Every structure is written in C-alpha cells, then in structure tokens.
Structure 1
C-alpha cells in the first residue's frame, strides 16, 4: 500500500514540476520562494484529485461565492460497497469533502442531498459532527431528502439549517437496532459443536452459536438505550424540540415527508432544486458557483494502472465479511438488517 501511495505521490510531484516549468518559461523569471509555494499548492491539488477530491462545476457563477453539493446515497457504512467501475457512497471521501468545505472561505453554503436508510452509528456520528461544525461556522446547510432519509439518514440531517423533503419521502425511523442470529439449533442438527474458550462470562456476548441469556440481553439493551439517548439529543438540539414532544415521534416509526413536516421533523416540502433556490437566497447571492465533488484519480481507470484491481470473487468476499462484521453491532438503520 505504501509503495502505491509513493508511486502516486511521485506522479503528482512530476506533473506539478512539469506544469511549474512551463509556467516559469512563459512568464520569464520566477522567484524561488514563490515557485516552491506554488509547487506545493499544485502538488496538494493533484494529491486531492488522487484521493477523491475533484470538483465538478454544476452551475457557472461567482467563484468567490460558492455552494457545494454533497450527496449521501446509500447505506452510511465505511465498508467497500462497489468496485471502481460503479458509483456508491464513499465514507472517507465524504468526510474529506466536508472538511474541505469547512476550511474553504469561498464556500458559503452546502446543499446536502440525502437518500439513505441510515447505517453505522459511528459513521453517522462522524458525518453529524462535521455537518454541525459547518453550520456552527455560519455556513448554512440545506438538506434535500430523496426517496428515503431515515434513521441514520435523519440523524445526519438533524443539525442542518433547513430540511426539505418531498411529500413522498420516507423519513424518521428515529431509533437504534442491533441484531444477531442464533444458529445453535441448526448446528445441533448438523452435529456441529461450539468450542469457544473465553476469559470471562460475557466475552462472547452476542455469539451466534448459542442462545442469548437474559443477563446478556440486558447488557446489550443498555448499550442500545444509551445510543438511543444520543440520537434523541441530536434531534432535540438540531430541531429545537423538547423531549416531551420528540419522544412520541421517536419510537422507530417512519413518516412521509408531508407527515414529517406536520410533526416538525422537516421544515419545507420540496425537492433539491427548491432547496438550492432557497439556499441561494440565504447566502444572498443570485449567481453563485454551484459544484459537487467527484471521485478522483484514485477511483478511476487511470489509477487502476498503478494498483491491482480486486477480482469479482475478492470483492464479493469483502462485501460478505463486511456484512457479517456489522450484523451484531448497533445501527441507525431503517428496514432492519
């Protein structure tokens, strides 16, 4: 992995040096210090491209007043969900984009397009933290919900400045779920015996090779309850809603966008174009540049020349192992597991 990153880095440095050389020849003489600064800036830009930080302009406009569009499409999980030939939610790239937005003074607002049933508790919290930081930095974040923005999808939407949902959007599902499978009956039929050796009684809590005890269920329920409390706090603070009003809505029920507006979980009924139009007014710019982030060279065919592409079997194995690893952890997920 280190060799691959070093190769990419040297390629980026080489391209930066070439561009810098052409620039120096065309402009005559260039101060050494300024040249080094420009080279570092070019290298950083190229490395961002390699790491998935390309910008694609959707609407031309004032480059000093920009709106960034971030899409959260699919399960919020930090696991490989697709090969480089297909589009899928990329957790690391999304976090990088949100960090970039916070630091870029030309970005005045964010349109967050959410079409997700939720996902991991930890991953959802990572997104929430960054979105809240952007809002706290006085950069408005407008959410445009798609078909589904439930559970973790709602969790990451809660701190937004304003939430738009289509009348038919499915949202809500405020709660935590934790599942597992007891295979002991099947194992008995197949003559398979569990031989776990553990240091303490609860070291294999959640094991799928035996029934769960009442004590273990109580322990895991306490974990779910604690995370549920965190979910309630996020929604209460983000929506400025007291717990007495929120708790009846937070039983895991799912709502249409129209119902969610009536209950105070979203602000407006509309689509992404409506949210974008409102955001332009909010940043007081009639003609802002609107752009989104696209996958960089690291996910392109060019990058595949410098890294071995996983076979279909290897990719399938990663997906299965990732699903198994996540099957017994708490999730902010609508629709079960």
Structure 2
C-alpha cells in the first residue's frame, strides 16, 4: 500500500478505538448510576420526532415512512462510522407509533431498497399486517429507483403499490453467498487449521470447497424462505401460485413490466401517492408528516468523522472492513451486500 492508504488505515483504526472507548464509557455510566440514569438514557435513545410535510388537520393525519438502503439490523449501538442509512430498530419504532397513534389515518411507505435480511424483511411484513388487521389503517407504497427482493417483500401487503416506469423491482427470491479463497491462500503457502465439534460446524467456510451434503442442507433452508416469499405475494397481491412463480425466478423488471404482471397497481411519484391516499380515504385536509430522530452524540461524531475522511473510496473500503460483519446469511437481496 502507498503512504496515503497506510495513513487512512491507521486513522480509521484509531477512530474505531475511540468509538469503542466512548461506547464502553456510556455502558459503564448507564450501569453504574442507578435506575434514574437508566430511565434517562432509555428516554434519550428512544426519542422520536415528527416533521410536518404538509400542514393540515392534526386529528386526521397521513404518516410517510421511509425505507432507504439495505434492510439490515446492524445492532443497537452505533459507531463513529455510522451513516444516515436504514436503521431497523428506528423503523420498527415508527411502525409501532403508527399503530398506537389514533390521529394517523393512513400510511405512505416509500421504498428505495435492494432488499436485505430475510429476518428483518419478515419482521417489517408481520408488523404491517398487524397494523392493518388491528387498526384497518391503509398502506400505500411509493417505490423509488429500486424496490427489489426484500424491498418488494415489505411492499407486498400494501393496499396499493405505485412505481415509476424506470423503477427497478422484482428480484423475487433468496440468496446466500460466501467467498472461497482457499486456493489463493494455498498458492501463497497459507495453511488454515480448523477444529470443530461436528462435520457441518464450518459450513460455507471461506477456506475450502463446499460438500454436496452441505449444499443440500443450505438449499433446503433457502427453498423454505422462497416459499414464504411466494406466499406473501399470493396473499398480498391476490395472485395465484402459478402467476407468482412465473415471475418469481429472481428476474428484475422495470415499473411498466411490474404493472403488467400485477406486481404493482399504477404509476406515480411520492407526492402523487400521498394525494391518492388522501383522495381515496377522504383525507383532503389531512396533515402529512414523517418521523425523525434527535441527533445523539454518536451521530454528531459520526458526521465529523465522515467529514474528516471525505468520500475517498479507499477509506470507505477500509471502514467497511472494520465495521461490517460479513458472515454468510440468507438474504432477500438484489445485488451484492
């Protein structure tokens, strides 16, 4: 590596260390100062605000929820490298607020996502179904540039789905990937020693080829998740199993094609979808709002660090290696993780 890369690596590692120290300090303070501080910290961490998009009747409101980025739960604690992308726990909190707030009469869910984790996608889907069944609040979906795989999974139960003609959607299916660099390591004389309690403990190891038995075990798991995906679309879109399977082979499609095969209802941008839900449910004078979160210390430091590093691609790659957990798992995801 050249000097610039070494400097970036050292600085990134140093800031990661500072992040760990700060997170540890918060944990110590939270556990050491009694129930009063615990309550204060909990209140701060769960704070959620509202941003009004259109003024109107406060007793009849339309909530706009946004899923932007990979649908993935990266954990409660955020590091100094945190970004403003998708936050799973925060989004689930928004759904709970929608359920409990009687002034919210309808929801517009905007989706700009290539999908994400099987578990996280199912959690969102289940919560939307719960809200629909218990409150009868309608959900309209506005798809952005991409709403594929898990991005479509969470949209499927909506009362109506709107796309742009160039929206990239579909990619219905499940994927699980790993990297095998065993042959490369062998070429350079690197030997991996693995001690395991059972024959499958190192399944999908990056240091050896997968056996046929291992592949069959994983394929069965993926097939189960695929069947769940098909069932979700059948129920949400009122399609037959054959109709779903005809397009559920992993293919991607644009918005026009999605409307043609009944995966979407109509065309429109976010503002069009808001107006449509207001018209359909007699909410012409409704206040339109979206949720936001107060910026905590971690978020402020994150912005400073990102500003310091800039958008250098080499630094971003180093940051990604230092902060992301890359264990293989099943994903409703279009494209690489």
Give me the TM-score of the superposition, normalised by structure 2.
Answer: 0.80
Residue 78 of structure 1 pairs with residue 79 of structure 2: no
Look up the SS of the partner of 2:262 in the other structure: coil
2:98 pairs with one of 93, 97, 101: 101
Counterpart of 1:250 (choices 245, 248, 262) is: 248
- Cα separation, partners in 2 of 1:176 and 1:296, compared to 1, 3 Å: same
Change (3 A) 1:57 1:48: farther
Query: Residue 283 of structure 1 aligns with which residue?
Result: 281
Q: Distance in 2 between matches of 1:101 and 1:223?
A: 33
Say if 1:158 and 1:65 are closer, same or farther in 2 by CA, change over 3 A. same
* Residue 52 (structure 2) pairs with residue 60 (structure 1): no
Q: Is the 8 A contact 2:30 2:38 kept in 1?
A: no
1:89 aligns with 2:86: yes
1:325 partner SS: coil
Residue 113 of structure 1 contacts residue 272 of structure 1 at CA under 8 Å; is this kept in 2?
yes
Cα offset, 1:167, TM superposition: 0.7
Say if 2:80 and 2:298, in contact at 8 Å, map to a contact too: no
Inter-partner Cα distance in structure 1 for 2:29 and 2:63: 30
Alignment match of 1:114 (pick from 111, 116, 124): 111
The 1:300–1:102 alpha-carbon spacing in structure 2 relative to 1, beyond 3 Å, is same
- Structure 2 partner of 1:159: 157
Q: State the Cα distance separating 1:320 from its structure 2 match.
A: 2.4
| Aligned counterpart, 1:40 | none
Tell me how many residue pairs correspond in the alignment. Answer: 301
- Residue 90 (structure 1) shift: 1.1
Q: Over residues 23-78 of structure 1, what are the superposed CA-to-partner deviations in whole Å (9 max), with x where a residue is unaligned?
A: xxxxxxxxxxxxxxxxxxxx9xx966652411111111100001111110111111
Distance verdict in 2 for CA 1:4–1:91, change over 3 Å: farther
Matches within 5 A, 1:25-36: none
Q: 1:183 aligned to 181, 184, 196, which one?
A: 181
User: Which structure has the larger Rg over C-alpha atoms?
Assistant: 1
Extract unaligned runs of 5+ from structure 1. Answer: 14-42
Does the Cα contact within 8 Å between 1:82 and 1:88 map onto a contact in 2? no
* Superposition deviation, residue 164 in structure 1: 0.4
Offset from partner CA, 1:72-101 (integer Å, 9 cap, x none): 011111127985885211111100010110
On the 8 A contact 2:48/2:293 being kept in 1, the answer is yes
User: Taking structure 1 as reference, are residues 290 and 232 closer, same or farther at Cα in structure 2, changes over 3 Å only?
Assistant: same
Which residue in 2 is equivalent to 1:336? Answer: 336
**TM-score between the two structures when normalised by the length of structure 1:** 0.80
Distance 1:293 1:300, change over 3 A: farther
Q: Counterpart in 2 of 1:227? A: 225
3-state SS of 2:208 partner: coil
> Which of 82-91 and 168-177 deviates more?
82-91
Q: How big is the alpha-carbon RMSD for the aligned residues of Structure 1 and Structure 2?
A: 3.1
